Structure formats: structure tokens, C-alpha cells
Amino acid sequence: MGQPISVIEKPSSVPGTVRFEINRNLTGMGHERYVAGTPVEGDRPPDRLARDLLERGGIDAVHIYNNVITIELDEHRDASGLKEIIEGLYIYYRPGVEVVVPEGAEG
């Protein structure tokens, strides 16, 4: 359940940096920066996305502004799998995830 995000990977002139443009506005006009090793507080969409990306490993920092996600990779990793993590931000029922029905909501 949920709607996938359309993601386009864009080239970056900075080595070790990957940029993605998506069809959703995640931050409005605010900038959000997340650094590896620092806990990600909050549960807004940019917070959840940054947490998912950083948990993958191989990332030094994530910057999100509006619909642009810029990822600084560590020196030993590539960008494989990042696009799929971003696309799945709003997918709630993934294989292996148990669907919990709140008490009293059953028909």
C-alpha cells in the first residue's frame, strides 16, 4: 500500500556525491542535513528517508531540499540501492511486514 515515488538520478560534478530528483516535495523551502553517526530525530518524511538511507551504510551525509536529495558517499561505496530506498519511502506494506489491524477496526 502506498504510492511509489518517481526518482531520477542526476549527475554531480562533485566526486562521491549522488543527486536524486523526485516528484514529491519533502521539506518545503527548508534545508535538512543529516550526518552519519548522528541520530536522526523526528518522524517527518525527510527524517524517515534520511534514517533509511543512513542505515544502509556507506553514506557520510544526506542533504534534502524540497524535492532534491543529495547524498555524500563514503570513499568505499557506490550508489547501488539508493534509488530503491527513495522510491519505497511511502510504501507501507512490504514483503515480510506484518499488517497490524487496530483493535475495533475489524469489520
pLDDT in tens, the chain (107 residues): 467 789 999 988 999 999 999 999 999 899 999 999 999 999 999 999 999 999 999 999 999 999 999 999 998 888 999 999 999 888 766 566 666 667 776 65
Q: Among candidates 63, 58, 61, which has minimal Cα distance to 46? A: 63
Q: Cell 560534478 sits at which residue?
A: 13
DSSP designation for 51: H
- Cβ proximity of 67 and 22 under 8 Å: yes
Number of other CB atoms surrounding residue 91 within 10 Å: 13
DSSP designation for 80: T
pTM of the model: 0.82
In the CATH scheme, what architecture does the domain 7-87 have? 2-Layer Sandwich (3.30)
- Cβ proximity of 51 and 57 under 8 Å: no
